[in-house]
């Protein structure tokens, strides 16, 4: 007479079935999680883009990308790591995104899909989250090689001939990003300052760039499925673009294909 319970063979069959289901489901669940993170990122970028346009409606221009000349610190304190980042007001300070050091507002500036393999960078809100387009959100002070093109008064939407095709904010390696960082053959030679480490996540040319330890996976493998990048445009809409769509090619001796995506021409 057979006793109740599983035989060894039956138990092995059940274990094999469970193992097979886990092998099938784990990649699916991982993919679902990545898509969910990309959706959250898109929503946060949409909120930031709306904040920029509200600021423009009230002040007549987009927020200044960076100002190191203001004497008093912003409400949330100076952002970044003082050993690597310049002290000053960033676009999110001007736009009022961060209202206090312990307010929890920094979550609005954080891309949930970023992949920084360095605690030093991962704790730095300026690294691996969202970058403002430096061509539009110009700085009040120079940054070495960037001074000639990205210092001055911030632009407004009426300065942009094709607002629906021009980026305002995007997934980025640093809090300010410009078309130089996405150029196959940029018109400058980058050094090793923190501003030079801005990048479009997943862009192929990042393999050839000298970036900081901990940025490799984020810059080369990308953040979102299929190496896509969330971009907020001047007209207020947000779209997910392939990283390769943001590549700037040299089309002449001194001419590049950065307009209209990266700035008016």
Which of 129, 58, 60, 123 minimizes the C-alpha distance to 92? Answer: 129
**Cα-Cα-Cα-Cα dihedral of 248, 251, 254, 255, to 10°?**
-60
The separation between the first and the last C-alpha atoms of the chain, rounded to the nearest angstrom, is: 88
d(CA 57, CA 246): 27
Domain ranges of the chain: 8-246
pLDDT digits (tens, 9 = 90+) for 213-228: 999 999 999 999 999 9
Mean pLDDT computed over 54-78? 93
Each residue's pLDDT tens digit, 116-144 = 999 999 999 999 999 999 999 999 988 88
Query: What does the pLDDT read at residue 5?
Result: 62
Q: How far apart are CA 176 and CA 18, in angstroms?
A: 48
List of residues 6+ apart from 197 with CB closer than 8 A: 127, 173, 174, 211, 212, 215
Whole-structure pTM value: 0.87
Q: Is the pLDDT of residue 72 over 60?
A: yes
Query: What is the pLDDT at residue 15?
Result: 76
């Amino acid at each position: 007479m057979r006793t109740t319970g599983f035989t060894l063979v039956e138990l092995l069959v059940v274990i094999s079935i469970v193992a097979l289901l886990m092998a099938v489901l784990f990649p699916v669940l991982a993919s679902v999680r990545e898509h969910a993170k990309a959706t959250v990122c898109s929503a946060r970028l949409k909120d930031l883009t709306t904040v920029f346009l509200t600021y423009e409606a009230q002040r007549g221009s987009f927020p200044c990308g960076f100002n190191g000349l203001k004497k008093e610190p912003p409400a949330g304190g100076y952002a970044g790591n003082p050993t690597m980042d310049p002290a000053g007001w960033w676009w999110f300070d001007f736009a009022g995104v961060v209202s206090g050091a312990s307010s929890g507002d920094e979550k609005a500036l954080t891309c949930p899909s970023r992949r920084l393999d360095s605690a030093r960078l991962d704790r730095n809100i300026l690294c691996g989250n969202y970058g403002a387009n430096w061509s539009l959100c110009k700085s009040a002070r120079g940054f070495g090689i960037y001074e000639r093109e990205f210092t001055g008064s911030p632009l407004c939407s009426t300065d942009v001939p094709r607002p629906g095709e021009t980026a305002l904010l995007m997934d980025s390696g640093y809090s300010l990003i410009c078309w130089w960082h996405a150029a196959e053959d940029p018109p400058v030679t980058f050094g090793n300052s923190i501003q030079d480490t801005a990048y479009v996540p997943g862009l192929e040319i990042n393999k050839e760039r000298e970036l900081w330890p901990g940025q490799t996976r984020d810059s080369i493998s990308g953040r979102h499925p299929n190496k896509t990048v969330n971009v907020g445009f001047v007209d207020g809409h947000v779209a997910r673009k392939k990283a390769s769509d943001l590549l700037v090619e040299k089309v002449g001796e001194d001419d590049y294909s950065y307009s209209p995506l990266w700035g008016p021409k």
